[in-house]
Amino acid sequence: MRAYFCKRLLLLIPTLLGISLACFLIMQMVPGGPVEQALQKIKYQAGESEAGAGGSSQLTTELNQEELMNIKKYYGFDKPILTRYLLWLGKLLQGDLGTSYIYEKPVLELIASRIPISLTFGLISMFITYLVCIPLGVQKALKHQSPFDHLSSILVFLGYAIPGYALGVLLIVLFGGGSFWDVFPISGLVSDNFEDLTWYQQIWDYAQHLFLPILCYTIGGFATLTLLMKNSLMEELNKDYIRTALAKGLPYHQAVLRHGLRNALIPIATNIGMIIGVILSGSFLIETIFTIDGMGLLGYQSIINRDYPVALGLIIISSLLSLVGRIISDFCLALVDPRIRF
């Protein structure tokens, strides 16, 4: 078993190399990069001064040639693409993800400053989702085809059908103190006077700020997990060992909880690793609506602005996390199912 997981860990290296190379190439080939943006800026300024002073266009072009080399050098674009990749990779191995073009800060620092926010959201969402879906799925399986089953299905699918950001806008309109009720704060994570509050007021304030965004994060996630739980348990309920448990003298609901549930949780447990990647990715739309500085917003802006170091840094970190998540999943599977040994 140890040998298997060592092998899996070693396989991470070529996988990550492949991911980084592909993303690096694609990203740098997309037009509108930093060099072009800088040129655009200069052209715009030159155009303005040209219109004002009526200088010769000859000068501008020459200036541009020289300037172009400088700009390219500044962003490192004077070398061929593969050389650039190797240089970037070399720095990455030393733990340096480069500097953001936009924020002019080290990428690692930028990402690190966003992680606590996204992690809070991710963990709370995951916790709520599992806390709701597992009991709900079990109840639905036990009361299959009952009014409760149908009603809860309608509710979770309604949640699944509503995009989180649309719900966000709706909730802000309803509860954000505009035309209807003033119940929840609509932006940021804490109030302006946060520092002056006592610790329990701080917690209350934080919870109030989190409530709406968390609702939007989680609303779409209930359907999948609930149905997975229900179907998985229903499948187990028909198995022979449940009948054996009943024949021993266990009441039905105890047979289900003591024997069926553990088996039904196996496919759910394997999902846990996958969630690690999701926890950190965030959602830029919801973050934009509620003005939260999370990973989703950072990633979105870095791609729009062609802020390559940030975008690549995020890709590398999230790929690493989801790959490790897969290994953790396999480990969890072996942990809950004694039949699985690697």
Partner 1 sequence: MTESLLKVSNLAITFPHENQKITVVNGVSFALPQGEVLGLVGESGCGKSLTALSLLRLVPSPGKISNGQILWQGKELLQLPLPEIYRLRGKEISIIFQNPLTSFNPVQTVGKQLSEALELHSSYSPPEVRDLVLTQMQQVGLPQPLRQYQSYPHELSGGMRQRALIAMALIGQPQLLIADEPTTALDVTIQAQILDLLQLMQKKQRMGVLLITHNLGIVARIADQVAVMYAGKIVETAPVQELFQNPLHPYTQGLLGAIPRLDRQEILYTIPGTVPDPAHLPRGCAFAPRCPERFKVCLEQIPELSPNSPQHQVACWLKT
Interface residues with partner 1 (CB under 8 A)? 239-241, 243-251, 258-259, 262-263, 266, 336-339
Half-sphere exposure of 215 (CA within 13 A, CB side): 18
Type of residue found at 298: L
Considering the complex, state which of residue 7 and residue 144 has its C-beta at the smaller distance from partner 1: 144
To the nearest whole angstrom, how small is the minimum distance from the Cβ of residue 334 to partner 1? 12
Considering the complex, state which of residue 138 and residue 289 has its C-beta at the smaller distance from partner 1: 138
∠ at Cα 120 (171, 131), nearest 5°? 75
The answer to whether the beta carbons of residues 219 and 128 sit under 8 Å apart is no
For 92-159, give the DSSP string.
HHTT---B-TTT-SBHHHHHHHHHHHHHHHHHHHHHHHHHHHHHHHHHHHHTTTSHHHHHHHHHHHHH
To the nearest whole angstrom, how small is the minimum distance from the Cβ of residue 135 to partner 1? 20
To the nearest whole angstrom, how small is the minimum distance from the Cβ of residue 142 to partner 1? 13
To the nearest whole angstrom, how small is the minimum distance from the Cβ of residue 328 to partner 1? 19
- Return d(Cα 125, Cα 290) in angstroms, integer: 16
Length of the chain: 342
To the nearest whole angstrom, how small is the minimum distance from the Cβ of residue 251 to partner 1? 6
Considering the complex, state which of residue 95 and residue 338 has its C-beta at the smaller distance from partner 1: 338
Considering the complex, state which of residue 74 and residue 241 has its C-beta at the smaller distance from partner 1: 241
Considering the complex, state which of residue 119 and residue 246 has its C-beta at the smaller distance from partner 1: 246
Give me the residues paired with residue 176 across strands.
Answer: 182
At 255, list the tokens. Answer: 């047979």
